[in-house]
Amino acid sequence: MTEYDFIIIGAGAAGLMLADGLGKDPAFKDKSILLLDKDHKTRNDRTWCIWEKGTGPFDEFIHKEWKKIYFAGKKHKESYHIAPYSYKMIKGIDFYSHYLARIKSYSNITFTQARVLDIEENSDGRVVVKTDQENFSTAQIFNSWFSYDNFRENAKYPILQQHFIGWFVQTEQAVFNSDQATFMDFSVAQKGNTRFMYVLPFSEKEALVEYTMFSSHLLEDKEYEGAIKEYMVNEFKCSDFRIIEKEKGSIPMTCYDFTQHNTQRVFHIGTAGGWSKPSTGYTFNNTAKKTEELIAYLKTGNSLENFQKKNRFWYYDLFLLNILYRNNELGHSIFESLFKKRRPQLIFKFLDEETKWYEDIYIMMAPNPIPFVKSLGRHIFWAISGKKKWW
């Protein structure tokens, strides 16, 4: 059985960023590291998007970026110049290729394609990772494998999902504005939920068109796809197009405490570690920040039990998610009031958790305050009642 100092399970965004960060940091040059994934990572299985000021660490393989975004609600529609930010898209295959090539250059990191079957912690302080190829031993695991089954039954807080299906389409006629990304278009029927269209145009004839929903449960594929077809006709007057590629996903939107699944030897990262922003589902940029923090923290030698702590933004997310769980149809009005009354630059800053407390108040004064006051009241009642669940 081969032994390693660290084993990273999963070669997605979190696993690859962590492997690369450890590989290029001289402090870990003597550490042997194994990166495991069941796939070779040679398929374009997802896309990520980030907003960012100026240049950034991923610009080398950015697929497309936009200086303008479009927001549409029921009563407010507007295009925004978002400088100094730009909105950037990364294709999964480009990310994988770039990071795997870098990881291959680190002599102390091994990437192995294998399916993990079990993780077994032994009394001797070692952890055995059993795969369909062979078994490995380590003192520390970083696990990015995520499953809703791991936490749904014991959730203390509401669990929503940001779920979507997207089509990469190609049209005969020029129908898209390639200079502008549609950030949220709530003009589609809400049907008692929070539903919107998301459009990333690569040219006047090519775009990713995505139907997205915040709710507890998924839809049948035909409902997402029917909405995309209808949107192409209503918004772009286009019924004749080719589907080049499809993507489908579901991201947890919850303030669930993922850290409770950590042990002394197994630490969860990425979505499995609670690194997805609860109120939006945005994960990629959060993961990049958390990875840097984690690597710096590892060098202190302190216990990983103290790595993640709640901040005030966790409570903001919690109050919003409680509203959306009880009254899912309020989502469009909350987001519409934000974009109608506040600059998108400030909204991005708030979602990046970089605002000052007085900016937080200014942001939170934009929507109708009554649902948030009720949400706060429910939280206070729950805290003193001793109930296991908040909803």
pLDDT tens, position by position, 332-361: 999 999 999 999 999 999 999 999 999 999
What is the dotted CATH code of the domain comprising 2-46+92-153+256-306? 3.50.50.60
The pLDDT-based confidence of 128 (bands split at 50, 70, 90) is: very high
The rounded distance, in Å, linking the Cα atoms of 169 and 205 is 8
What phi and psi values does residue 344 have, to the nearest 5 degrees? -60, -30
Domain-wise residue ranges, the chain: 2-46+92-153+256-306, 159-253, 312-385
4-9-15-21 Cα dihedral, nearest 10 degrees: -10
Name 245's Cβ contacts closer than 8 Å, sequence gap at least 6.
44, 167, 168
Q: What local confidence, expressed as pLDDT, does residue 305 receive?
A: 86
379 pLDDT higher than 90: no
Cα of first residue to Cα of last residue in the chain, in angstroms, is: 47
Phi, psi of 7 (to 5 degrees): -125, 130
- Category of 352 on φ-ψ map: left (φ > 0), alpha (ψ -120 to 50) or beta: alpha
User: What pLDDT is recorded for position 310?
Assistant: 87
Can you give the pLDDT at residue 382? Answer: 64
User: Which pLDDT score, from 0 to 100, does residue 381 have?
Assistant: 67
SS3 call for 198: strand
Q: Which carries the bigger pLDDT value, residue 376 or residue 213?
A: 213
- The helix or strand, by DSSP H or E, that contains position 100, with its residue range, turns out to be helix 92-104
Architecture of domain 159-253: 2-Layer Sandwich (3.30)
Alpha-carbon 64 to chain mean position:
19
Q: Do domains 2-46+92-153+256-306 and 159-253 have the same CATH topology?
A: no
Q: What is the pTM of this model?
A: 0.93
Q: Which of 335-339, 379-383, 387-391 shows the lowest mean pLDDT across its residues? A: 387-391
Asked whether the bond before 344 is cis by omega within 30 degrees of 0, the reply is no
Q: Is pLDDT larger for residue 390 or for residue 7?
A: 7
